[in-house]
A and B are shown apart, each in its own frame.
Chain A
Amino acid sequence: MPGLEDLYREIILDHYRNPRNRGELETPPARRAEGFNPLCGDEVVIYLETDGDLITDLKIGGQGCSISQSSASMMSAAVKGMTVDEAQNITRVFKAMMSIHESGLDGDGGDEDLQIDDEVSLGDLEALRGVVRFPVRIKCATLSWNTLLDAIDGH
């Protein structure tokens, strides 16, 4: 059984303590999308402002656990300034990281087999890798990313 230190990495707790890009943006011009985790009642609201293809600003609202909140914070820091394509790409990479162990959740192996788009660096987001060992929390970590996709699609 993985230890709590695998889950609650310092950088995760830092983003939980001091969430980046917290707030709201005026809609329009910003687009707003809401995501819910029906299991635990967590909710995230994303305000997304784009200029052409570029994500110029992004704010996060809502409430949730340390994992959902820190993942949202890290996501906001990562995708701000990216193009929409880049944001969609890093979302794919992140979600792949969150599902890579699904066939062998108990094993410690598999990290070295992580073959996802090498051109995309997850940076701080790597800290969330441990979440896959706690399957119940995967939905917490992916909530804001799925909501980001909704915001991009204009849902």
Chain B
Amino acid sequence: MTIEKVGLDAAALKAQFPLLSRTINGRRMVYLDSANTSQKPDTVIDAISDYYRNTNANVHRGSYQIAHEATEALEGARAKVASFINAPSTSEVVFSKNATESLNLVAQSWGRKNLREGDTVVLTELEHHANIVPWQMLREAIGIELRWIPITDEGKLDLSDLDRLLDGASLVCVSAMSNVLGTLNPISDIATRAHAAGALVLADASQYVPHLPTDVQTLGADFVAFTAHKMCAPTGIGVLWAREELLEDMPPFLGGGEMILQVTKEGYTTNDLPWKFEAGTPPIAEAVGLGAAIDFLSELGMKNVRAHEVALTAYALRTLSERFGDDIKIFGPSEPAERGGVLSFTYRDVHPHDVAQVLDQQNVCVRAGHHCAKPLMQRLGVGSTTRASLYLYNDESDIDVLSDSLAEAGDMFTF
């Protein structure tokens, strides 16, 4: 049991992330791209290094000491993930390569098993391509129908027509938090209505799990996908959580070692959960890093992380709006409590690539582009946006540098 600290000391936290102390051209790092990937604390970097220095061996098959330790490390990380998202069992925690692979796993395994030509999958206009394209691929392969939940002008899901959209649907695929707008979607409400209509719910929680306390037993979704590298952990590992009876009923996704119990010339039998979905050598060091990241986040307390980000988001919205007025258009909900710390904006008619270029000169890291959400860009009526995204190590001084740099971009492109 961890005693949660009150509030976060962002300055002390910055010091625990070695990359954030790097300077370029004498300017400190102002990292505002954590929705893209987060930076990694010393404890995570050390855990990975320590694993390779002292424990490295393949898992589930060696008969010697370090092989046993490596297996314990992998499965120990799985237990930490289960606990972090309050999964009832480690059998329900499947390691993948990233959230994209987790989503593809559902489409290819559950989808091909359960969907037939003409069946309906409901998506939303604010999905990341990772929760769109796998379903379009399935549409091409077996002829499913896709429906779209629209969004309001404030960037929230427009659920006014949900019952019609759910009529006859088999699955609803919805982001728990938009990677562009920051919108926190009402997964639980959607799930209640989807379940009543006989549909399951798949939540893309890539932007959610790193920033808010997550309880898959109350979230309401039947499948939850997320990635580790956005939550202080390394790249190369993601998670799919699903209820055990769903996973039991699903065929394997990839075939190979690890996912089998028996192989003969005639065929194979699959391994138990969750290994049935983990063909080949898993990302062991990455899992160790994820475990260390979860320890780090748990010690801070996810409620504190969330409270810090709500306060900082409020500060950012206020600072940028007051300084730039109508020159800046920040997309997504205006109420900080209804959103995460993802601020996508357009600034006058300066193209986001040019904004990001001027910001880079001040060592301010933001993302410019369509954020892998082109249907959403179309809905917003823009080709691209600049996106500043916050995490636990950001503070008001980061926002102030962003604001000053933005003013500089404005000066440069005043015609």
Contact = CB atoms under 8 A, between A and B. Distances in A.
B64 interface: no
Contacts of A137: 353, 357
B374 A4 contact: no
Contacts of B358: 4
Contacts of B18: none
Interface stretch (A46-54, A62-70, A90-98, A114-122): A62-70
A41 B24 contact: no
A42 B377 CA distance: 12
Interface SS, A side? mixed
A1 B362 CA distance: 11
Contacts, number: 49
A63 B383 contact: yes
B370 A41 contact: yes
Interface in A1-33: 1, 3-4, 7-8, 13, 17
A43 interface: yes
Interface string B337-357: 000000000000001111001
Which interface class (under 10, 10 to 19, 20 to 34, 35 or more) fits A? Answer: 20 to 34
Contacts of B24: 1
B369 interface: yes
B413 interface: yes
B361 interface: yes
A65 B354 contact: yes
A140 interface: yes
Contacts of A42: 353, 383-384
A43 B361 CA distance: 25
B412 A140 contact: no
A49 B357 CA distance: 35
Nearest to B24: A1
B25 interface: yes
A68 B377 CA distance: 19
B25 A1 contact: yes
B354 A66 contact: yes
B368 interface: yes
A69 to B, nearest CB: 8
Nearest to B369: A40
A134 B383 contact: no
A40 B354 CA distance: 11
Nearest to A66: B354
A66 B24 CA distance: 25
B357 A40 contact: no
Interface string B6-47: 000000000000000000110000000000000000000000
B92 to A, nearest CB: 35
B352 A65 contact: yes
A68 B383 CA distance: 14
B369 A39 contact: yes
Which of A8, A41, A66 is the most central at the interface, judged by chain B CB atoms within 10 Å of its CB? A41
B412 A65 contact: no
Given A43-B383, A66-B353, A67-B353, 15 more contacts: A1-B24, A1-B25, A3-B361, A4-B358, A13-B413, A41-B369, A41-B370, A41-B383, A42-B353, A65-B351, A65-B352, A67-B354, A68-B353, A137-B353, A140-B353
Interface of A: 1, 3-4, 7-8, 13, 17, 39-43, 63-69, 134, 137, 140
